[in-house]
Amino acid sequence: MEAKELVAALEALAARLGIPIRYETIGRVVARGRPGGGLCRLRGQSMILVDDTLAVRERIVVLAKALGTFDLDGIYLPPLVRATILANSDARVLAPRPLARGKPGRDTE
């Protein structure tokens, strides 16, 4: 999957979640040298704001970080899209825990 296709997949996911994306000129001064944009709330509705001067790879980071704040467990995502969101978000993936076992040497009644 190319970078532009990944952006399109992330935009499609946002649309599925009902989250509009707005591309606006934010400027590097406001963003302090980091990719500009992210998740915000306007009149009670979530929205993703993206600096329209960003390169494609930077747009991926902004979109993935914003989408990583939502519960995506029940939604099918292509593996690369899910991996991109997990790699760029602050979401924690829980490690699998071992199955519970009885104490060795004890008989069950």
DSSP type of residue 35: P
DSSP secondary structure string for all residues of 36-65: PEEEEEETTEEEEEEETTS-HHHHHHHHHH
Q: Predicted confidence band at 34 (pLDDT cuts at 50, 70, 90)?
A: low
The gap from C-alpha 84 to its chain's centroid, in whole angstroms, comes to 7
Confidence of residue 26 (pLDDT cuts 50, 70, 90): confident
Indicate the range of 33-37, 63-67, 86-90 predicted with least confidence: 33-37
Q: What is the pLDDT of residue 77?
A: 92
Closest to 48 in 3D by CA, of 65, 34, 35, 31? 65
| pLDDT tens digits for range 45-65 | 999 999 998 899 999 999 999
Q: What is the mean pLDDT of the chain?
A: 83
Q: Which pLDDT score, from 0 to 100, does residue 2 have?
A: 93
Single pTM value for the model: 0.76
Going along the chain from its start, the domains and CATH numbers come out as 3-88 (3.30.2010)
